[in-house]
Amino acid sequence: MEVLLIALLAGIGFVVAYYTYGRWLGQKIFRLSADRVCPSLELCDDRDYVPTDRAVVFGHHFTSIAGTGPIVGPAIAILWGWLPALLWIVFGSIFIGAVHDFGALVVSLRNNGQTVGDIAGRVLNRRVRLLFLFILFLALTIILAIFCLVIAAVFRQFPAAIFPCLVQVPIAVAIGVWLRRRGVRLLLPSLLALAVMYVSVIFGDRGVLHTINMTLAAWPMWLWVVVLLGYAFVASVLPVWMLLQPRDFINSLQLITSLGLIAVGLIGAAAFGGAAVDGERVPLGMAAPMVQWTPEGAPLIFPFLFITIACGAISGFHCLVSSGTSSKQLRTESDARFVGYGSMLTEGFMATLVLLSCGAGLGLGIALADGGILVGEEAWRDRYASWAAAGGLGTMVAAFVDGSANFLAAIGVPLAIGVAIMGVMVASFAATTLDSACRIQRYVVHELAVALRPETGPVRRWPVFSWMQSRYTATAIAVTAAAFLAYLPPPGSSWSLATAGQGGLILWPLFGATNQLLAGLAFLVVAFYLWRRNLPIWFLLLPALFMLIMPFWAMTWQVFVGSPEHPSWVASGNWVLVLIGTATLFLELWMVVEAWKLFPRVRGIRELVPVPVR
């Protein structure tokens, strides 16, 4: 019952936080008003700015911010023990992550739906705006390159997930067009789409579909990169109502029902035990240790726990979704708490279920290659013998899929179907993040072009920056940059068709700290927005400091310190990472100094109001 109690208390905590702390933020701090006109109405263009029902925006926002982060992060961090990971997920989500997402969404709503990088130019200064936008461009390029690799790896590991994921695209387009032209309510299309998707999961790997899945799973990485970036390009330039919104919404229904199945399975396993092994039910219990300060080969728990678990507690990428796409779709400002604060708490509960799947679900039994079955602590140790054994993407995804499928098996769902449902869940999360990230990168390229364009002098007539503002050109730049990175050879390898598509691994070690750094910088933007209006910022100070110090500490350790198991980038001679990592540390310090100098001079002085541009 210990495992069930953890899930129950975490769920209650998230609900209480939404109706107390979240409501206080909305009413007393951000002072949300249904009377204030949102960018989706003021700048409506039926492409990017589209007033939308809050349930659809929630679906888009939740699936975009989640990705594989709340799966892989907790699945790795449990190596330090389930208790430290759980505490960071619950308290991080409530007091840091949800505040960050909510704040970025509100500030963007009041600034024409611009990204936090662009807004930084007004609430701080123009230098900060450029620095912030360059950091965003780098982070999103890494995301686009690496998520192509992640999706392809999941498809190879779980071929049964391929057809159900592919069929979501035509379903989404059909739903989008149906809703747009007929103006029908969401309920009937939602139920039909959900039914079709679950049918595709159950029957999507039989007969000829199995042959198709296996053929696609064998595609080389470079081909998947071409296909996925091509899809991301198309999804980015299409109107949001045609593909992005309906796909994310129906995905959110499927993913939330999958989380519901895990919760029901957890209850069943707690009451009756797992599926029978050798004729007996396996009792549910936590197989992972409560605390393990120095697991074999792992880096220091401080600061790396807070870098490893990002999306499940707080992630800088979320501020890009809040200020990049969601703020352009909300119909009324009063929906911001539901979307911004509520989505992060939902993701926190998801991360909690992932943690329990890896910490307790694996203990219900894992099959060995020789046909044997391990249960309890032996099963957990088989997957988590050391940091090196647990650190691979495939291992972590498999730990969650197998553990959660064991919960489903406890309530009678066949193991193969349970694995397929969870495999589709992982791949769908990754795919929705890919197309949202590409659209956000288009906005960042556009804002960079505006920021770099000279204001005076003869150079003003040079057309290159205006040319970059086209949605097709900006998306092409986003996709080309990601493709260039992806097609570089991975670390330690020479280029070949076999290695092409894995180049995102070059800069991936930078992403954890850089991503969390974005969160700290987004907190600065929100704090300055409130400070200029004489509104309280005390609740932001500790989260902001924490999210500036932890990634700085982690990246400094990675660049210059290291350990025998994890040599520093300087010691290993990885000068690309040394150069970019050092530059990132310098940019963070520069932005903090700029903020520190400006802070005492701008209290109560509002920034210039942006002029709506149609």
**Three-state secondary structure call for residue 180:** helix
The pLDDT confidence band at residue 456, using thresholds 50, 70 and 90, is very low
Mean per-residue pLDDT, 262-283: 89
**pLDDT tens-digit map of 528-587:** 999 999 999 999 999 999 999 999 999 999 999 999 989 999 999 999 899 999 988 998
| pLDDT for the residue numbered 393 | 73
**Three-state secondary structure call for residue 470:** coil
Contacts of residue 45, Cβ cutoff 8 Å, sequence gap at least 6? 614
Quick one: 159 exposed, middle or buried, by C-beta within 10 A (0-12, 13-18, 19+)?
A: buried
CA distance 147 to 141: 10
CA distance 403 to 337: 32
pLDDT over 70, % of the chain: 96
| pLDDT for the residue numbered 442 | 94
DSSP conformation class of 374: E
* Predicted model pTM: 0.94
**pLDDT tens-digit map of 23-67:** 999 999 999 999 999 999 999 999 999 999 999 999 999 999 988
CA distance 391 to 371: 25
Q: Which of 447, 341, 372 is nearest to 122 (CA)?
A: 447
| pLDDT for the residue numbered 280 | 82
Other Cβ atoms closer than 10 A to 528: 24
CA distance 472 to 147: 21
Instruction: Give residue for tokens 């925006």.
Output: 57
Q: Which of 481, 44, 478 is nearest to 236 (CA)?
A: 478
CATH class of the domain at 2-507: mainly alpha
Three-class secondary structure assignment of 139-166 = HHHHHHHHHHHHHHHHHHHCHHHHHHHH
Helix 471-486 to helix 221-237 angle, to the nearest 10 degrees?
Answer: 160
Write out the DSSP string of 279-317: TEEPPP---S-S--SS-TT---HHHHHHHHS-TTT--TH
Q: Which two tokens stand for residue 319?
A: 């501020």
Average pLDDT, rounded, for the chain = 90
Q: How many CA atoms lie within 13 A of 53 on its CB side?
A: 15
**H helix and E strand count, the chain:** 27, 4
The pLDDT confidence band at residue 612, using thresholds 50, 70 and 90, is low
The pLDDT confidence band at residue 607, using thresholds 50, 70 and 90, is confident
Q: Which two tokens stand for residue 501?
A: 């598509």
| pLDDT for the residue numbered 462 | 47
Mean per-residue pLDDT, 272-296: 89
| pLDDT for the residue numbered 557 | 97
Mean per-residue pLDDT, 421-435: 88
CA distance 38 to 370: 60
Phi, psi of 130 (to 5 degrees): -65, -45
CB 349 within 8 A of CB 11: yes
**Three-state secondary structure call for residue 571:** coil
Which run of H or E residues covers position 367? strand 366-367
Quick one: 273 exposed, middle or buried, by C-beta within 10 A (0-12, 13-18, 19+)?
A: middle
Question: Which of the residue ranges 240-244, 299-303, 458-462 would you say has the lowest mean pLDDT?
Answer: 458-462
What is the bridge-based pairing of β-strands 280-281 and 366-367? unpaired
Other Cβ atoms closer than 10 A to 386: 14
| pLDDT for the residue numbered 515 | 93
CA distance 599 to 390: 44
CA distance 318 to 64: 8
| pLDDT for the residue numbered 458 | 42
| pLDDT for the residue numbered 461 | 44
Mean per-residue pLDDT, 100-113: 96
Mean per-residue pLDDT, 471-492: 91
Write out the DSSP string of 399-468: HHHHHHHHHHHHTT--HHHHHHHHHHHHHHHHHHHHHHHHHHHHHHHHHHHHHHS-SSSGGGG-THHHHT
CA distance 608 to 593: 22
| pLDDT for the residue numbered 460 | 47
Q: Per-residue pLDDT for 614 more than 70? A: no
**pLDDT tens-digit map of 162-211:** 999 999 999 999 888 888 877 667 778 888 888 999 999 989 999 999 99
pLDDT over 90, % of the chain: 67
- For the chain, give the longest Cα–Cα distance: 83
The pLDDT confidence band at residue 14, using thresholds 50, 70 and 90, is very high
